Structure 1
Amino acid sequence: MATSSSSTLPSGCGVFTTVPDVFFIPEFVFGGLVWILVASTKVYMDNPQGWVMFVSVFCFVFTTLWFFLFISGVNQKSSVWPTLDVAYHAIAAFFYLSASVALANVTIRLQNDSLNFKSYQEDIAAVVFSYVATLLYFIHTILSAIRWKSF
């Protein structure tokens, strides 16, 4: 008897209790914190925070959509969902890593600017949360790949 994808992908409240899907909530939280912190800082002309904002908003919105698709059970209708899950989380991890590096670079450049100390502190927090979000998406990718391989 062949195992179908619908027997291993969670839906409904099962999303809150299965690994790697339990990572959706912390991805929301830390991605949202990055979004809020970067949005509250000053943006300078040579500042790549536009990319950071794009990544945090894109991942927040798409993870929300992905989460609701899993809760609604749409992921039960096709065997392509495990592959899409791995692909999305891998892209999100890569995007967040690139945004984290860019944000860390900006933060290092703001270190000696005493006029923007508040922005510097907010950027430090955003860098930390961005790397945490990167780690969460990366772990989600690895665990989703393990689940995908078990099909």
Structure 2
Amino acid sequence: MAAGTASGGRSLPRGSAVFTTFPDLLFIFEFDTAYHCLAALFYFSASALETLVTIGLQDDIYRHYSENISAVVFSIIATLLYMVHAVFSLIRCKASYRNREHS
């Protein structure tokens, strides 16, 4: 990747240019990075707790057990998506700091 570019090949906005496009608006003060890392941690915790509850329901009524299996699958998918987005947010944040150092 060339210097001065971020994902997608475009440079990161600076100053008031952050407010001109919706995706860039989410990166104000790099809060987005901290938010997604924290959300990934919370989703992981909730997913682990839901898995433990589902294991405890194994001998219960089949309907409740199958509903909880679905909840576990979707919570794991949501957790993975938040983790992937957190990683990409960290990469973008790192690229942003690297670009500021070279400017």
Normalised to the residue count of structure 1, the TM-score between the two structures is 0.49
1:31-88 CA distances to partner (integer Å, 9 max, x unpaired)?
A: xxxxxxxxxxxxxxxxxxxxxxxxxxxxxxxxxxxxxxx6xxxx28x851xx211111
Q: Report the Cα offset of residue 5 of structure 1.
A: 3.8
In structure 1, give the amino acid aligned to 2:88: L
Q: Distance in 2 between matches of 1:126 and 1:5?
A: 39
Match of 1:118 in 2: 63
Q: Structure 1 79/95 Cα, relative in aligned 2: closer, same or farther at 3 Å?
A: closer
> Structure 1: any 5+ residue segments left out of the alignment?
16-69
Q: Which has the larger radius of gyration?
A: 2
Q: Distance in 2 between matches of 1:129 and 1:96?
A: 11
CA contact (8 A) 2:18 2:28 kept: no
CA contact (8 A) 1:5 1:79 kept: no
Q: Structure 1 8/150 Cα, relative in aligned 2: closer, same or farther at 3 Å?
A: farther
1:13-32 CA distances to partner (integer Å, 9 max, x unpaired)?
A: xx4xxxxxxxxxxxxxxxxx
Kindly indicate whether residue 103 of structure 2 is the aligned counterpart of residue 93 of structure 1: no
> Structure 2: any 5+ residue segments left out of the alignment?
5-10, 97-103
Normalised to the residue count of structure 2, the TM-score between the two structures is 0.70
Kindly indicate whether residue 65 of structure 2 is the aligned counterpart of residue 107 of structure 1: no
1:11 alignment partner, one of 13, 21, 41 = 21
Report the 3-state secondary structure (helix = DSSP H, G, I; strand = E; otherwise coil) of the residue aligned with 2:87. helix
Kindly indicate whether residue 77 of structure 2 is the aligned counterpart of residue 129 of structure 1: no
Q: Report the Cα offset of residue 11 of structure 1.
A: 2.6
CA contact (8 A) 1:107 1:124 kept: yes
Report the 3-state secondary structure (helix = DSSP H, G, I; strand = E; otherwise coil) of the residue aligned with 2:45. helix
Match of 1:145 in 2: 90
